[in-house]
Amino acid sequence: MAEETLRDVTAGLAGLTLQGVSKIQASLTEEGKVPEYLILGFNSEDPQIQKASVIQIRRILGNSPSEAAQPVIDTGLVPAIVSLLDSEDTRLQCEAAWIVTNIASGTTQQTEQVIDAGAIPRLIILSASPHADVADHAVWALGNVLGDCARIRDRVEEEGGIAALIKLVDRREPSFEKVQKTAMWALFCYLNPLPSRKLPITRIKHVLLCMARYIQETPVNKANMESIEYAVQSLDRICGHDLQRTDFIATGVVPRLVKLLADSSSSTTLQKQVLKCLVYVVSGSDDDTDVAVDAGLLPGLLVPLETKNPDLCRLALRTASNVAAGSLSQVYALLDSGLLKPVVCILMDDQESTRCRREACWTISTLTKKVPGDSRVAQAFIEGCCVEALSAALLISDLKVKELAVSGITNVLEWKPPQGSGADESPLTILRSASGPQNLRAVRDSRDVHDKMIKKDCQGLLTRYFPDCSRRARV
């Protein structure tokens, strides 16, 4: 070692005491390497110098994990760092687990370095430590390892890591709330729904039950919000692993999800995740949808619609359209809930996003399928200004909206008010008053609409119902 380098190393070692460690701002060298004095300090027989070196290595990684992971690996210290997880010193255990966490946030090759050094079984043991800080750091590391790839995820599971995390989530001790929440996040990482990481549902049913228990038993407040968000999002991820709706419903979590949706203390993020799960439920059979409807889903949808948050509105409207496609009793429940009015308002509001207006049009167009066969639905449809809304939708510059509007108008014009029904106006009369013929002609003649089928359908409606408006203007 050159004399000048030796002097620098000695100067660095001189500051490596637990009292002076906070004064040193260790960083990678200009060559992108871990300073030599930290490597020497780590191998020192002086416990204080070794601990100070570990702390500084952890800080280097914490400041720039993506840049520092490989330089730390290149020191050859990873096996020794992992062995510190067996230390009787809880501070060293925490620092070592923290370093493992940051290395495991890198590439698969970098994560494999800590795994090959024996990190997984040690981290699982530490996750059950009576010291909350030690357990929490171990769980963070497990979460990062689980999030890497399917092969590494499977290895953690085979060694008992998932079972250990479930025990932590089910643990109901105030002193371990932080660990419980970190375990929730780690299980969320385990459930990554990418096609390359898909899991057989038999392997994750116990995780489903764990998440459902947590959601049902945990009060909604600021302290718990993030972990409940992860729990509900985990349910959504489990659905992506080909979960059967009957298994989802059997957990008993659906009524709780409906309550979370309508709870004013729920965050916007939580409401979004809840709606994704409820969309999954109501896109199944009528029996599946009945579970959500009976739990109060439809009045609950008014809450996200009133927030004016585009994502929430879109998901709420998609949920409503799925219910509208269900049984007649479900359609009646939708009408009784008062949902139709805000749906119509969204469709007719030029200030709403196109995506929301498309979902609103989908809901109304779906309802029209019930209009010809049921006078109650027809009357509510007319009184709710749905015919006018469909006419207005023809002018929205979105091809799908136009398609849905034409389909809805076709359905609703099939209904003829029975004699003595008390209907003041027929759909045909209302549509004419709402500029329906002109709007149909506008779609038919538009140079911006290239779908020939829509143009043909518009012409068919004009020929059949409005022959006086069916001819093209002479140029």
Domain ranges of the chain: 326-415+425-475
Residues 6+ apart with CB under 8 A from 87: 93, 96
**Which pLDDT does position 238 carry in this prediction?**
94
Tokens for 6?
């030796």
Burial class (CB in 10 A: 0-12, 13-18, 19+), 136: buried
* Site of tokens 């204080």: 48
For 354: left if phi > 0, alpha if psi spans -120 to 50, otherwise beta; the answer is alpha
DSSP state of 352: S
Q: pLDDT in tens for each of the 475 residues of the chain?
A: 433 333 344 445 545 555 555 556 678 888 889 999 999 999 989 999 999 999 999 999 988 878 889 999 999 999 999 999 999 999 999 999 999 999 999 999 999 999 999 999 999 999 999 999 999 999 999 999 999 999 999 999 999 999 999 999 998 888 899 999 999 999 999 998 888 899 999 999 999 999 999 999 999 999 999 999 999 999 999 998 889 999 999 999 999 999 999 998 999 999 999 999 999 999 999 999 999 999 999 999 999 998 889 999 999 999 999 999 999 999 999 999 999 999 999 999 999 999 999 999 999 999 999 998 888 999 999 999 999 999 999 999 999 999 999 999 999 998 887 665 555 578 999 999 999 999 999 999 999 999 999 999 999 999 999 999 878 754 4
In the CATH scheme, what is the code of domain 326-415+425-475? 1.25.10.10
As a whole number of angstroms, the distance between CA 462 and CA 475 comes to 20
DSSP state of 23: G
Residue 170: φ, ψ to 5° = -80, -10
| Contact in structure between 358 and 346 (CB atoms under 8 Å) | no
**How many beta carbons lie within 10 A of that of residue 276, not counting itself?**
18
| Contact in structure between 114 and 104 (CB atoms under 8 Å) | yes
